Chains A and B, each alone.
Chain A
Amino acid sequence: MTTENRTLFDRVWDSHVVAHDDGSPAVLYVDLHLVHEVTSPQAFSSLDARGLSVLRPERTVATMDHSTPTLPERLAVIDSPAREQLGALERSCEKHRVRLHAIGSPTRGIVHVIGPELGLTQPGMTIVCGDSHTSTHGAFGALAFGIGTSEVEHVLATQCLFQHKPKTMRVSVTGALRRGVGAKDVILALIAKLGVDGATGHVIEYAGDAISALDMEARMTICNMSIEAGARAGMIAPDDVTFQFLSATDGAPKGPAWDAAVARWRALQSDADATFDREVAIDATKLEPMITWGTNPAMAIPITATIPSPADAATPHERTARENALRYMDLVPGEPLLGKPIDVVFVGSCTNGRLSDLRSVARLLHGRTVAPGVRTIVVPGSERVKKRAEAEGLDTIFRDAGAEWREPGCSMCIAMNGDKLTPGQYAVSTSNRNFEGRQGKGGRTLLASPLTAAASAIAGRVADPRALLREGARTR
């Protein structure tokens, strides 16, 4: 093991290798295992069938988020398979003494929102979850990645995984972001540049002054969508912004332990001469608000641009992909997306369901109303986000504007809980995936930032938030 020229990723990886036998992948120790109802039941049943138990319940934390209703009255009518799945998680957690943030708990929420919020997510940790957006936690300088259910079982039983060491990629984002341009726009621009498989096999480290200037919630938005470029994980070296955020959480070390932890965390940096398998640069000063037009997150354009034409595609494969996407989306190449009428606006998800996201939306909705006929749903990422938003009066702003204020959960990002688009509907969505049918069979998703979602809700059409930002807040 070398001690110099190491990346942040190398440091975290190296300190978690339990064993590395010839011809085998490393046995990697997992500090924190997050669990939700959808990808865990088969792992728990298999564990039970083998007569095994959860090795480290204290390193395992469960929540209910994917299939939970966001309307309180729907609790009674949630479909029975979903209810059975939630019940299975409850029984497994009780049997194996795993902490569960169940429905009704004031700390429940989307798994990638509550981890950081409760201070469970800490720099230098290895974190896994049966969920591809586990990359979110990398914003704290953790190595965090999604796994399948077989691997969930492995971690439950051994707190370890067989893992091959991924490659590294550094994405340097430099310069100041312009007004109206935020973390969501940065990550959509990067995915558009790399492609949906451009970072396959890599762990990305986001660096540069534009990243350092972001608050923790914005950093989480960026790391969250690393998987949409195919990356195994996304990481950002911890700094004072990170420590400030952590110091206010319940799970952070206290007293002398805090000082020791910060001293340790400060070493979690890539060495100046560390080399990466790949380097990518993004000029933040040139970015505009981004929006997707197609059926994967790489099909994104600046909001003022026109819909790309299959004829301009670089390869025959790309041309076919564009044709298929345009057919599904029922959009015309060469036309602008700006001004396109929409049916639904969804604000929420592990990408953009945090307090700062809700504040961005409220900033534009304050004193304004959503366009008639546009259903606007605002879903906080967790019970705590909900409580804090309500303490600031954001719920009143949303309701006064004609938007729906819901209970926390994944909601319409994955459309498992009854919140969904109907066939043919267009939605501007702050979530992370615009795959065919992702938000409901036949639904058409335009991924964008919370600001763009809010501006579009007000206009009833795809809208550039910068015009409203120039206009400033309105008072009634």
Chain B
Amino acid sequence: MTTQPLTGFSARVVALPKDDIDTDQIIPARFLTTTTKSNLASALFADWRADATGKPRDDFPLHAPAAIGAELLIAGRNFGCGSSREHAVWALAASGFRGVIALSFADIFRANALKNGVLPIEVGLELHAHLLRAVALDPSLVVTVDLELQSLRLPDGTCATFPIEPFAKRCLLQGVDELGLLLSYLPLIEAHEAARR
């Protein structure tokens, strides 16, 4: 069993430039009573999308006409903090997001994202501010993500690299099935158990 290899993509960007967006905002807990990973798109940012009466808010960035079909989200610092719910990543993926650009990520969110082929793209303050300005000026702007080069390129030629640990990169590029790989360690796992007994 392998997963779909990911080498890169070009996508439009929708901006939600807040810091500390926690996973309770990404998907509120009341949507977690599910036994599948699908059908979570409508739960993404549910409480920010609708007003008190449940009516969709026109001023929510993801509802802007230019945001429809955007496959990259740009947020602030510490994206995905709080609960470990992988549903946050599933909801993003179900909504078509292939990556999140942020100044930093919470540890568990980053791990969950990588396991679902949603790229956590960590950028510096300068590129972050530049990209936010560029997207505000032209919401139809398309940026290009290259995983091999670990780069993010804007149409104006601005290019920045982002960190990704080599193992996760290899798994994504080659579509490595992590569980399959772990299973190959079973003899060593059993030896470890025997040694500690």
Residue of B nearest to A82 (CB): B33
Min CB gap B3→A, angstroms: 11
A150: interface (CB < 8 Å):
yes
Q: In the complex, A429 Cα to B118 Cα: how many Å?
A: 34
Residues in chain B near residue A38, CB distance under 8 A:
32-33, 85
Q: How many cross-chain pairs have Cβ atoms below 8 Å apart between A and B?
A: 166
Whether the Cβ atoms of B34 and A151 lie closer than 8 Å is no
Do B77 and A154 touch (CB < 8 A)? no
Q: Are A81 and B33 in contact (CB under 8 A)?
A: yes
CB distance from B152 to the nearest CB of A (A): 21
A321, B183: Cβ atoms closer than 8 Å = no
Contact stretch, chosen from A22-30, A250-258, A394-402: A22-30
Q: How large is the interface on A (under 10, 10 to 19, 20 to 34, 35 or more residues)?
A: 35 or more
* B179 neighbours in A (Cβ, 8 Å): 50, 153-154, 157-158
Complex contact B192–A435 (CB within 8 A)? no
B155 at the A interface (CB under 8 A): no
Partner of B35, one of A84, A147, A153: A84
Q: Decide if B167 touches A24 in the complex (CB within 8 Å).
A: yes
Interface size on B, residues (CB 8 A): 52
Nearest A-chain residue to B89, judged by Cβ: A148
**Contact indicator A157/B183 (Cβ below 8 Å):** yes
Query: Contact string, B65-84, partner A, CB cutoff 8 A, digits 1/0?
Result: 00000000000111001111
Q: A416-B33, A437-B47 are in contact. Are A317 and B19 (CB under 8 A)?
A: yes
Interface membership of A69, Cβ < 8 A? no
- Tell whether, in the assembled complex, residue B108 and residue A147 are in contact, meaning their CB atoms are under 8 Å apart: yes
A296 contacts which chain B residues (CB < 8 A)?
20, 22, 81
The answer to the question of A371 belonging to the interface, with a C-beta cut-off of 8 Å to chain B, is no
Task: Tell me the complex Cα distance, A147–B114, Å.
Answer: 13
Shortest beta-carbon distance, B88 to chain A, in Å?
Answer: 9
Cα distance, A389 to B183, chains bound together (Å) = 45
Interface segment, B7-15, B23-31, B55-63?
Answer: B23-31
- B104 partner, pick from A29, A42, A197, A414, beta carbons under 8 A: A197
B33 contacts A79, C-beta separation under 8 Å? yes
Task: With CB as the reference atom, state the residue of chain A lying closest to B1.
Answer: A50
**Least Cβ distance of B90 to chain A in Å?**
8
Chain B residues contacting A321 (CB-CB under 8 Å) are 18-20
Q: Is residue A232 contacting chain B, with contact meaning CB distance below 8 A?
A: yes
B84 & A436 in contact (Cβ 8 Å cutoff): no
Residue of B nearest to A297 (CB): B82
Instruction: Encode A175-214 as 1/0 by CB contact (under 8 A) with B.
Output: 0000000000000000000001100110000000000000
Within 8 A of A (CB), among B72-126: 76-78, 81-86, 89, 104, 106-108, 111-112, 115-116
Instruction: State how many angstroms separate the Cβ of B66 from the closest Cβ of chain A.
Output: 23
Taken residue by residue from 432 to 455, chain A's Cβ proximity to chain B (1 for < 8 Å, 0 otherwise) reads as: 010111100110000000000000
A-side residues, CB < 8 A to B, are 15, 18-19, 23-25, 27, 29, 38-39, 41-42, 45, 50, 52, 55, 66-67, 79, 81-82, 84-85, 88, 130-132, 146-151, 153-154, 157-162, 164, 166, 196-197, 200-201, 227, 230, 232, 296, 317, 320-321, 324, 414-416, 423, 433, 435-438, 441-442
With contacts A148-B84, A415-B29 known, what are 14 further pairs, Cβ within 8 A? Answer: A50-B1, A132-B82, A147-B84, A154-B179, A154-B182, A162-B167, A164-B165, A197-B81, A230-B78, A435-B82, A437-B25, A437-B28, A438-B24, A441-B30
